[in-house]
Structure 1
């Protein structure tokens, strides 16, 4: 497990558009994210989440630099990387915090093209039970289970308004060797208590300044509470949905963390659960899950029917030449992995021959080239511009 933190540089200064107080300047981007209601699709938020999801394939320093241009200058970014090749587990999550700590973004890295472990996990579609709420894709769920004990307390601290930079330093402290027992007495040091890794308001792992007694949510007005967004592309999108489902399921988080979630924006997301999982969580947070699909991207049609009956949940948005457009009919599963993969590869090859009139007109139901995050980022940029919003 590797935890790394980076300060988000102040690259672009956004104009003040309203009254501000010392130490709390008004940032129109952050304010807009704060004003979004649960279940309301926001094109500006979609662009910011598409940017975070696309740049989650980079290192934390690059991620922080890019997100500074999206209004997060002066904030903090943390990456949590987990790799265990023998267990076919390899994933990375990013936590982004605005300068005023009022907006938190959780972004998961997707399938890395050169990672055999990611690919093997993706095709390992054997289902596993999810909190007695149905079954989910095991290759997606196992990485989240392994990452959660470290990710959860960091997320909980950020949602209490605590500095991610300070908290991440404390996170790394727990891996340092310390004298214990008799050795501690000899050296005059006292061993720190071992807190539960779960994001539990009764026993916070990080007892930092700024948290209320017993780790409860700060007694601030609702307008001052941090707003949470979750995002990801490809495998990262599947992890985003599973993370939201876990947050929704764990009752102690549901009490005061869940109301802070404004939306889950996914891009090129595969299906993650069976019909029972879809039925239960569609009622729970389907109205807050916004899935984006670029043209004939093959991944949203996966896993195939040969792997079992999987279903999408949430609202679906398809790409046009200029914007994301809501679609009432959800995409269905591909029939087989081999057939859809070969078709997707052929479509990608034909895209390179689009200048040849005959070849350029051959229709393909699936394409791997369409799955590239650059497609999702480009449409999100056009969609925001088409809506006539302010520049970012």
Structure 2
């Protein structure tokens, strides 16, 4: 068993890759780039932005890889600074991995949370730790999800407030050889990142699967303390992909009132995970605005998915659905949900339908 904290920072920001000098600070080229589009998103529209959906689905998908691969995937869309922090304790079923992505001009910050690793049994045990616990004054939530947010919260708090003050997030965790927390820095241009003016103007929170559940709870926690008032004001959206339910009806109702108009849940086709945890483990409910796709963009869905009855039945049907997709002879058989539809690749491919950008398997070569 392990008990560790690992921080792996940097990557660098959202401007066209060729930008340099003043443009690299987000002044000229950034005005035409993705960073400026994300900064202009108005949360009052109650609709997800197509560029934000693509970038955040990409970040959520490539969080399953190593930091350098994540950098190469996202730097197609510009340069970024990354700080990646993980906490693992198998005995406590803790496996929390988050990445802070800050624009070089320091006006934009993305918190991306890693989802369930298919081969990590402790991730699955975290998902299965459904015994509910009180989540401040908002209601009761899935205990496994909440504990993984709790153990990371000090790091999230420190990075959020550093970004709010206009500081470089690379300076939050200096790291030493004797510390359980290690910080590693990298730069896409081979040199130090230039100092840039500006303070945080826009915050996005995202994740896929377990990461989506933790992203939703991290956003909810911002509404539990007045110290986060300014950060709440800058929250442009919580974009979750294949998110399971995270709390009971009381929690869902309270979260809906507080930030439901800025919470966008994306569900690909018959993905089974948004219908979990099963009813046999207790009553859970969704909140936020749901969008569904079968591969051709996202469509608003007014009716939230209900829970599966038991995990065994749900898992069996979901596995059969995946097998069915591989065999044309039985592909016609209708099924209500599928494990195959939960792949993060499906979410990226659906998200890029609303843009002219190639996405999932495009890399920047250093």
* TM-score (norm. length: structure 1): 0.80
**1:280-336 deviations in Å (ceiling 9; x for gaps):** 110000000000000000000001111111000000000034210011111111111
Out of 43, 68, 71, which is 1:64 matched to? 71
Q: What is the aligned partner in structure 1 of residue 188 from structure 2? A: none
Matched, 1:24 2:27: yes
Q: What is the aligned partner in structure 2 of residue 250 from structure 1? A: 225
Tell me the distance in 1 between the aligned counterparts of 2:177 and 2:154: 13
Tell me the distance in 1 between the aligned counterparts of 2:154 and 2:98: 12
Given that residues 6 and 61 in structure 1 are in contact (C-alpha distance below 8 angstroms), is that contact kept between their aligned partners in structure 2?
no
Structure 1 residues 10, 270: closer, same or farther in 2, change over 3 A?
Answer: closer
Question: Mean alpha-carbon deviation: is it higher for 232-241 or for 141-150?
Answer: 141-150
Tell me the distance in 2 between the aligned counterparts of 1:242 and 1:148: 11
Q: What is the aligned partner in structure 1 of residue 209 from structure 2? A: 234
Out of 253, 258, 261, which is 1:284 matched to? 258
Matched, 1:384 2:355: yes
Shift of 1:160: 2.1
Shift of 1:139: 1.1
Mapping of 1:52-201 within 5 angstroms? 52-71=59-78, 73=79, 75-169=80-174, 172-173=175-176, 176=179
Given that residues 14 and 77 in structure 2 are in contact (C-alpha distance below 8 angstroms), is that contact kept between their aligned partners in structure 1?
no
Q: What is the aligned partner in structure 1 of residue 11 from structure 2? A: 7
Tell me the distance in 1 between the aligned counterparts of 2:304 and 2:169: 37
Unaligned 5+ residue runs, structure 1? 178-209, 211-217, 387-391
Tell me the distance in 1 between the aligned counterparts of 2:75 and 2:130: 37
Shift of 1:54: 0.5
- SS, match of residue 362 in structure 1: coil
Matched, 1:374 2:348: no
* TM-score (norm. length: structure 2): 0.86
Shift of 1:260: 0.8
Mapping of 1:297-312 within 5 angstroms? 297-312=271-286
Root-mean-square deviation (Å):
2.6
Given that residues 17 and 75 in structure 2 are in contact (C-alpha distance below 8 angstroms), is that contact kept between their aligned partners in structure 1?
no
Structure 1 residues 164, 113: closer, same or farther in 2, change over 3 A?
Answer: same
Given that residues 138 and 254 in structure 2 are in contact (C-alpha distance below 8 angstroms), is that contact kept between their aligned partners in structure 1?
yes
Given that residues 260 and 288 in structure 2 are in contact (C-alpha distance below 8 angstroms), is that contact kept between their aligned partners in structure 1?
yes
Shift of 1:156: 1.7
Tell me the distance in 1 between the aligned counterparts of 2:245 and 2:26: 43
Tell me the distance in 2 between the aligned counterparts of 1:296 and 1:273: 21
Unaligned 5+ residue runs, structure 2? 181-194, 358-362
Tell me the distance in 1 between the aligned counterparts of 2:214 and 2:164: 19
Matched, 1:347 2:321: yes
Tell me the distance in 1 between the aligned counterparts of 2:325 and 2:312: 20
Tell me the distance in 1 between the aligned counterparts of 2:17 and 2:261: 34
The higher relative CO (CA closer than 8 Å, separation ≥ 6) is in 2
Given that residues 154 and 168 in structure 1 are in contact (C-alpha distance below 8 angstroms), is that contact kept between their aligned partners in structure 2?
no
Tell me the distance in 1 between the aligned counterparts of 2:304 and 2:18: 38
Structure 1 residues 30, 257: closer, same or farther in 2, change over 3 A?
Answer: same
Tell me the distance in 2 between the aligned counterparts of 1:299 and 1:23: 38
Question: Mean alpha-carbon deviation: is it higher for 40-49 or for 264-273?
Answer: 40-49
Structure 1 residues 5, 20: closer, same or farther in 2, change over 3 A?
Answer: closer
Structure 1 residues 23, 306: closer, same or farther in 2, change over 3 A?
Answer: closer
Shift of 1:46: 0.3
- SS, match of residue 343 in structure 1: helix
Structure 1 residues 146, 15: closer, same or farther in 2, change over 3 A?
Answer: closer
Name the count of aligned residue pairs.
335
Greater C-alpha radius of gyration: 1
